[in-house]
Amino acid sequence: MSTDTPTIGVLALQGDVREHLIALAAAGAVARPIRRPEELAEVDALVIPGGESTTMSKLAVVFGLLEPLRARVRAGMPVYGTCAGMIMLADKILDGRDDQESVGGIDMTVRRNAFGRQNESFEAAVEMQGIAGDPVDGVFIRAPWVESVGAAVEVLAVHEGHTVAVRQGNVLATSFHPELTGDHRVHELFVSMVRAG
């Protein structure tokens, strides 16, 4: 596994997998879809995409990926989650289903669909720490927000008073979808985290 050109998987159970594969490749990584535990074992890092978090958690169990994912995150594998991926990385979920499971990894409480339903989706300029230049274009689709964070969590972006981007160690999460914008700076930040890993 090369640190110069890291191999980064995208959890390919459900959601906007293709867009992340394209953004990671543009950011200098080798990108692969991940559906099985043996594929997870072959990557340096992982992106958990947007999609539907309850469906994603159920499929992670069905495909035998939930426990291997938790183990890799605990062992220090860099992970980046967008939207549903942020929910999957939360230690606590509000407004989730009773049987919903998360991978965990960030000491935060996340509220599902906090910005509203599908027809209330929107785009907004988001100032994000660690991203030079203009604000990133945040695409919020049934997006969560972070209600609270532990002491080890760094808040990277806030929109309308709500935390929408966080980092804890080498785990990064955003409420929004940078993979849908053609601006690869957030993916570049994640690839640099993986290289520094």
Residues identified as active-site: 83, 177, 179
What is the distance of C-alpha 178 from the center of its chain?
10
Helix (H, G, I), strand (E, B) or coil at 40: helix
Q: For residue 106, what are the contacts with CB-CB under 8 A and spacing of at least 6?
A: 89, 90, 91, 149, 153, 166, 168, 171, 173
